[in-house]
Amino acid sequence: MSQPYISDNINSFNSINVWNNYTVADERSEILAWLSPLEPQIRHQDIRIRRVDEVGGWLLQTQEYRNWFDGMSGCEPDSSALFCYGGPGVGKTYLR
């Protein structure tokens, strides 16, 4: 198995009380880690590796997607959100 990429914001909280030696970079990664313990990027990398290019690319050409991406405000219905639904295994996760 390939090693998922590990972002620089895990493994913090160790040097928390050393205020004097604080560097800006340390604090930045500690703040990011503090925002949430979850690391969805790891799952993203895994999906990215398994995805087959071009599959589901048709979605990008649909009116629904374009309206959403371009953010046509004022058009009905307002589509600042796009919900793509389908049964298990149709490839929702792996859309291009």
Partner 1 sequence: MIDTLCKQAAGDGAAVACFYFDFAAQEEQSPAAVLGSVLKQVVGALGEIPERMVKAFRDREKVIGGQRLSLSEIVEFLQDISSSRCTFICIDALDECPAGHRMKLLDSLNQILQESQGARIFLTGRPHIRGEVEKHLAGRAATRSITPTKDDIIIFLRAKLREDTMPDAMDESLEEEIMKSIPETVSEM
Binding-site ranges for partner 1 (CB under 8 A): 7, 9, 13, 16, 27-28, 30-32, 34-41, 43-44, 47-48, 52-56, 58-60, 62, 64-65, 67-69, 71, 73, 77-88, 90-93, 95-96
Cα–Cα distance measured from residue 44 to residue 46, given in angstroms and rounded to the nearest whole number? 5
The H or E element containing residue 47 is helix 40-50
Nearer to partner 1 by Cβ, of 3 and 83: the residue is: 83
Residue 95: closest CA among 66, 52, 39: 52
CB of 29 to partner 1, least distance (A): 9
